[in-house]
Amino acid sequence: MIKSYKLRRIVSNTLIYALLIILGIIWISPFVYLVMHSFRAEGLIAVDYLVPREWTFQNYIDLFTGAGGSASINFPKWFLNTLIVAIFSCIIATVSVLMVSYAFSRLRFKSRKKFMNVGMILGMFPGFMTMIAIYYLLKAMNLTGTLVALVICYSCGAGLGFQISKGFFDTVPRALDEAATIDGATKNQIFWKIILPMSKPIVVYTVLTSFIGPWTDFILAKIIMGDNIEYYTVAIGLQKMLSNDFINTYYKQFLAGSVIVAVPITLLFLKMQKYYVEGVTAGGVKG
């Protein structure tokens, strides 16, 4: 009986691991192709073989120097634009999310539950539903085609994503707040000097999620920027490289650019993966 159970368990685990390996190969194969062919020397666009026959670093050099291409393709400028937008949006959104989350977790005020429910309901609607309205509001303020408009869009509504952070703050003992209050600390001092230094996992989680959105977004950035190519982000710029006018010249540089774009996010996750997981799991409690 025991041997039969062990055999079934071994067969079951083998099938599960085999399935996971197959799914992993399917998932990672496009990225492997992307990285390999970003170093490909031969050919202009796509080739009918998987492994490049000649390898070179020239595609990355041309990407940042603009050698042999059009002056309208300026990847370093687009990369800088995206970095600026992502950093400012990340700072504003992180502070906003953490403050709103702490307020809902610790403070008890009239209509608190109603505000939380409204925030969760609004968060269920997909962002593209409001993009046209946002565009015309920004146009009325003469902000379309600017990096300021992108920072406003990415950071102003960030407070609605308070659920995970609130769940984390709910796990922090209230005795800390009470002890600090007895010592004369205000709510503001308790948040900045006591609770926040103890909340590294959720801070890291919020920073990562606030940075990734602006860094990878395409649709909203494209609508707001329009034809203002000088302030394109990397997502719009990479899409432009695949247009009919540029694909024959910039296809391999597009592959190199796609790899470059993935580097900051990958490094952030590798460095902060531990805290990211802790933030997600600790923030999943009901409160």
pLDDT for position 22: 94
What are the CA-CA distances from residue 182 to residues 27, 95, 175, 195 (Å)?
54, 26, 10, 16
Q: pLDDT-derived band of residue 274, with 50, 70 and 90 as boundaries? A: low
The pLDDT score that the predictor gives to residue 242 is: 85
In whole angstroms, give the CA distance from residue 95 to residue 213. Answer: 16
- What angle, rounded to 10 degrees, do the helices at 200-216 and 147-155 form? 140
For 243, which DSSP code? S
Predicted pLDDT at 84: 94
Per-residue pLDDT, 287: 45
pLDDT at position 1, please? 58
If one compares 129 and 220, the residue with the highest pLDDT of the two is 220
Distances in Å between the alpha carbon of 209 and those of 20, 48, 92, 243, 260? 26, 37, 12, 30, 19
Taking residues 269-284, report their average pLDDT.
61
Give dist(CA 35, CA 257) in Å, integer: 10
For the chain, the average pLDDT equals 83
Round to whole Å and give the CA distance between 84 and 100. 24
pLDDT in tens, 111-150: 878 888 887 787 777 777 788 888 888 888 888 888 999 9
Burial zone of 221 (CB within 10 Å; 0-12 exposed, 13-18 middle, 19+ buried): buried
> Per-residue pLDDT averaged across 101-105, rounded?
86
> For residue 187, what are its two tokens?
């709510």
Q: From CA 66, how far away is CA 59, in angstroms rounded?
A: 10
Q: Tell me the pLDDT tens digit for each residue of 170-219.
A: 888 888 888 888 888 888 888 888 888 888 888 888 888 889 888 988 88
Residue 281 reports pLDDT greater than 60? no
> What tokens were used for 220?
């909203």
Q: How far apart are CA 78 and CA 234, in angstroms?
A: 5
Query: CA 97, CA 100: separation in Å to the nearest integer?
Result: 5
Mean pLDDT in residue range 96-111: 85
pLDDT of residue 81: 93
Identity (one letter) of the amino acid at 40? R
